[in-house]
Chains A and B, each alone.
Chain A
Amino acid sequence: MADKGFEWLMVLCALSIFAIVVLIASELVKGSNLSWNQFGFDFFYKSVIDSYTKLPNYWDPVNGHFSALPFVYGTLVSSFLGLLMAVPLAVGLAVFLTEMCPPVLRGPLAFITELLAAIPSVIYGLWAVFVLVPLLREYVNPMLIKLFGWTGFFGDDNPSGLGYFAAGVILAIMILPIISSLTREVMTAVPNSQREAALALGATRWEMIWISVIRNARIGIVGAIILGLGRALGETMAVTMVIGNSPGIYRSLLANGTTMASVIANEYAEASNDLHRSALTEIGLALFFVTIIVNAAARLLVWAVTRGAPARVQ
């Protein structure tokens, strides 16, 4: 009898996961109703021209105009910057760990990379504020401006060192461990016979790594990257601390920006009215769906690869 009860308890625990997801989604939908009725799809792109500055204004709590565009833009830009920097490093690290590293070092190095994932993001944020941002401000940004300023992507108008680029760098550091440890996992799953096949054809070690390891692991690597993207999209604290929190859309990557997650963290507690709160909730809803879809896709890919189904061409 007690056994039966225990079984039900476990089923209940399992079901509660689904219940939580449904509950969150329905709460978000309910909360964003007001904003949805007011703006509809305009919410995701429309701006009003500010009567005073004559510039497009997306986020104006005082006059009750709200649009998610700068937040979506900032989230995408900072996340993709993060990926751009993290992916080559992470794949390189995984290749080193699986293919080149002496076995004595493999365990400790893998352990340390995984440990990086356990550091609370506010600590990353603090480190970024005290170390990374000054470094960017003094050395990196001036160099980027000098070298690539002509492209328009590195404007010389933000002396703070904060901005999309700083957020991208801190995101890169934060998602590096997850991408590299999953990449390592799928690379380890590549059978040795594939490596021998390439070597026996006269491939050098690098050619072998490319032909056998990376090609065979590529779907899993893509999964790892998407999972990293999922992390980056939802990351809040560290990004909020370094992105500058300015609700505009700028071409310069060195400009202050904002993200979906950071505007919620910054403004929700002090929202001026119901519409403001509802608009923030709608941003939350959008973020919720995007991250769930991105994460599910990534998990499916990684799962499909590591459970041994070889990647096929057709």
Chain B
Amino acid sequence: MGVGIEVINLNAWYGTNHTLQDINLHIPANQATALIGPSGCGKSTFVRCLNRMHETNPIARVTGTVRIGDLDIYEDAKPVQIRRRVGMVFQRPNPFPTMSIYDNVASGLKLNGYTNRRVLDEIVERSLKNSALWEEVKDDLKKKSGASLSGGQQQRLCIARALAVDPEVLLMDEPASALDPVSTSKIEDLIFELKSQYTIVIVTHNMQQAARVAEKTGFFLNGRMVEFDSTHKIFTNPSDKRTEDYITGRFG
């Protein structure tokens, strides 16, 4: 089951570059929330603050509060624990090339200490079914490497890998931007399916995509959250002039 995310006064820096400034928002549980905005406005930085990946960069710094469910992730837990509850899918598919398809999906479970073959088999199958890849790979799960799949299949493999550890939140940073239209629509269908079980945050440059998959949409500009509202409102009747300019394509 997904949980909601509460972000309070979040600020983030890369060195002296104040990348995120006073972000406040509430991301509802079991829905998809889209983040849009021009390149360099801080969307990736924002999602990376939600699983404490931001701080893996040695020059990065972050302040403020992020509450996932009732856990204050910067106060109450170690990064490793957070990342096991908040899955992430990156812009470019990054399966482990030295591992088989099976081992890719099982990698997170193995990190969590699962060793029982039967349990692993079951979760790997369920995750691959959830990510709509099962039918395509079930015959060579252990024979083929994660890198031998097509780009779209690799991305669904990465989704399966993230789902296998049963996270509460799934962060997706432009998951379809490197993919063809068919793979993209598969991923969108997937997001639709997954919403019932996970809270999804998806960064996208594709406004139709945001409109199709997300209940809520946030518009970022220059490190600030300009507007956050229901997707319908953002795309039909935004309150802020800048949001309107952006979605009508006047800049960005």
Q: Name A's B-contacting residues (CB within 8 A).
A: 103, 191, 193-204, 207, 211-212, 215-216, 218, 310-314
Residues of A within 8 A of B87 (CB): 200-201
Distance A207 CA – B100 CA, assembled complex (angstroms): 18
Q: Which 10 A-B pairs have the closest CB atoms?
A: A202-B84, A313-B145, A200-B88, A201-B108, A202-B83, A193-B94, A310-B97, A197-B94, A215-B98, A312-B145
B90 sits at the interface (CB 8 A): yes
Residues of A within 8 A of B96 (CB): 194, 197-198, 211-212, 215-216
Residues of A within 8 A of B144 (CB): 313-314
Distance A314 CA – B51 CA, assembled complex (angstroms): 33
Residues of A within 8 A of B83 (CB): 199-202
B97 touches A196 (CB 8 A): no
Q: Closest approach, in angstroms, between the C-beta of B220 and any C-beta of chain A? A: 21
Residues of B within 8 A of A312 (CB): 97-98, 145, 147-148
Main secondary structure of the interface of A (DSSP, over half): helix
Within 8 A of A (CB), among B77-113: 80-84, 87-88, 90, 92, 94-100, 107-108, 111-112
Residues of B within 8 A of A202 (CB): 80-84, 108, 111-112, 165
Q: Name B's A-contacting residues (CB within 8 A).
A: 51, 53, 56, 58, 80-84, 87-88, 90, 92, 94-100, 107-108, 111-112, 143-145, 147-148, 158, 161-162, 165
Residues of B within 8 A of A314 (CB): 143-145, 148
A197 touches B99 (CB 8 A): no
Distance A278 CA – B225 CA, assembled complex (angstroms): 83
Distance A191 CA – B99 CA, assembled complex (angstroms): 16
Task: Known A200-B51, A202-B84, A211-B96; judge A310-B147 contact (CB<8 A).
Answer: yes
Residues of B within 8 A of A194 (CB): 94, 96
A196 touches B111 (CB 8 A): no
Residues of B within 8 A of A195 (CB): 56
A216 touches B97 (CB 8 A): yes
B84 touches A201 (CB 8 A): yes
Main secondary structure of the interface of B (DSSP, over half): mixed
B84 touches A193 (CB 8 A): no
Distance A312 CA – B165 CA, assembled complex (angstroms): 25
Task: Known A199-B53, A200-B83; judge A313-B108 contact (CB<8 A).
Answer: no
Q: Closest approach, in angstroms, between the C-beta of B180 and any C-beta of chain A? A: 20
A201 touches B111 (CB 8 A): yes
Distance A218 CA – B144 CA, assembled complex (angstroms): 18
Q: Closest approach, in angstroms, between the C-beta of A58 and any C-beta of chain B? A: 45
Distance A195 CA – B96 CA, assembled complex (angstroms): 10
Q: Nearest CB to that of B145 among chain A residues?
A: A313
A201 touches B145 (CB 8 A): no
Residues of B within 8 A of A311 (CB): 97-98
Q: Closest approach, in angstroms, between the C-beta of A224 and any C-beta of chain B? A: 17
A197 touches B143 (CB 8 A): no
10 contacts between A and B (CB under 8 A): A200-B162, A201-B83, A202-B82, A203-B111, A212-B96, A312-B97, A312-B148, A313-B97, A314-B143, A314-B145
Identify B90's interface contact among A193, A212, A216, A310, CB under 8 A.
Answer: A193
B165 touches A313 (CB 8 A): no
Residues of A within 8 A of B53 (CB): 196, 199-200
Distance A202 CA – B109 CA, assembled complex (angstroms): 10
Given contacts A103-B58, A191-B94, A197-B95, 20 further A-B contacts (CB under 8 A): A193-B92, A196-B90, A197-B90, A197-B96, A197-B158, A201-B87, A201-B108, A201-B111, A201-B161, A202-B80, A202-B82, A207-B111, A211-B107, A215-B96, A215-B98, A218-B98, A310-B97, A313-B99, A314-B143, A314-B148
Residues of A within 8 A of B84 (CB): 201-202
Residues of B within 8 A of A218 (CB): 98
